Amino acid sequence: MNAAAGTGRLVRVVGAGAVGARLARAILAAEISVDLEIDDVKPDVTRALITGLGDRARAVGELGVGQPDPAVVVLARPKSHIETASKALTAGISVVSVCDDVDDVRSLMSLDRLARRNNATIVVGAAMSPGLSGLVARHLASRLEHLDEIHVAIHGTGGPECAIQHHRALGGTALGWTDRAWMERPAGSGRELAWFPEPIGAKDCYRAEMVDPLVLPRAFPEVERVSARMSATRRDRLTARLPMLTPPHPEGGLGGLRVEVRGHRNGERIALVAGLAERTAVATAHVAAVFALALVHNELPPGLVLPGDAALDTERLLDRLSAAGLVLHEFVGTESRSSW
């Protein structure tokens, strides 16, 4: 088990945006003995958040020379996370990253050896997708005798940076895991109608430059196909390769996650579908908070940790998310009709 350096009850949250602010509140609400350090490039944003959090939160460096290192650093700011993560791991401090950028996540996954060498842990993709998608997939897979496909779809965005990433993802190159091999397709192609939990309902979703096909095959070595799609409007798709025409909204609206696993049970081929309708920033914050607190409690092994990995106690993590207020749903009553 991990024995992180620094003070075991101090967590540093890097980024005080839509996700970071909720993450800080979620950690303080869930664990009474944890203190927080907030680190953001905008001092006024940091100060405003700390004022709202009370006396268990302070700005990084507020105590001056000699202040203790945190046990965990949670990276909730826009990419890139690689430099901060490398420095923290080198110092033996565990890291949780909510990054959903493919290149950044690929780099973060390469820090496994550095983390192990320093007896620290790096949790990569502790967001809604990736993150909650892997946990839900693991939960559904436990009902199958053999899992061979995972298909993820998301709707909505968190804060402004997430909206920018969403826009970028529709204009990039989509990864897919097909027959145990990587496949690249143009983002914005491959339209499928995905049915999200109410009140979101049915949304047309498209391939996009998303992280799930990169991380899920590693967390589920037996899986043969992984795809990821995101909902988009006609305007989103037409303007995907242009600069954003309108500034992103400071607070994303209701978001959705849909995870479909396929495999065999009792000799039959079946598909199981589960999902979530929640503000994307809220869901992401709770997932990151649950992983950060699992690190505080030394519940995660050293090295690279990917949500959904069989070595994790996924049910306990999901129970904590449920206790925090995230309500997962499963689709029942008819077989999935999606073809992907």
Partner 1 sequence: MALSMAGMIAGALRIRGKGGVPPQNGGWRELPLDES
- Sites of contact with partner 1 (CB under 8 A): 139, 142-143, 188, 191-195, 197-198, 201-202, 204-205, 234, 237-238, 274-275, 315, 318-319, 322, 327-334, 336-339
- Closest distance of CB 71 from partner 1, Å: 28
CB of 270 to partner 1, least distance (A): 14
Give 133: exposed, middle or buried? Use CB within 10 Å, 0-12, 13-18, 19+.
buried
Residue-by-residue DSSP string for 132-183? HHHHHHHHHHTT-SEEEEEEEEEE---SHHHHHHHHHHHTSEEEEEETTEEE
Rounded least distance, CB 210 to partner 1, Å: 17
What are the tokens at 128? 């809604």
**Shortest reach from residue 159's CB to partner 1, in Å:** 27
In this structure, are residues 49 and 57 in contact, taking their beta carbons and an 8 Å threshold? Answer: yes
State which residue, 81 or 166, has the beta carbon closest to partner 1.
Answer: 166
In the complex, what is the shortest distance from the CB of residue 37 to partner 1, in angstroms, rounded to a whole number? 32
Using CA atoms, how far apart are residues 309 and 218, in angstroms rounded to an integer? 8
Question: Least CB distance from residue 269 to partner 1, whole Å?
Answer: 18
For partner 1, the closer CB: 93 or 277:
277
Nearer to partner 1, 248 or 256 (CB): 256
CA dihedral (290, 293, 294, 296) in degrees, to 10, reads: 170
Q: Residue 33 or 266: which CB sits closer to partner 1?
A: 266
246 vs 334, which CB is nearer to partner 1?
Answer: 334
Q: Which is nearer to partner 1, 12 or 262 (CB)?
A: 262
Q: HEC profile for 244-309?
A: CCCCCCCCCCEEEEEEEEEEEECCEEEEEEEEEEEEHHHHHHHHHHHHHHHHHCCCCCCEEECCCC
How many Cβ atoms are within 10 Å of 195's Cβ, its own excluded?
A: 20
End-to-end CA distance of the chain: 38
The residue (of 103 and 204) whose beta carbon lies closer to partner 1 is: 204
Three-state secondary-structure class, residue 106: helix
Cα Rg, the chain, nearest whole Å: 19
Min CB(191)–partner 1 separation in Å: 4
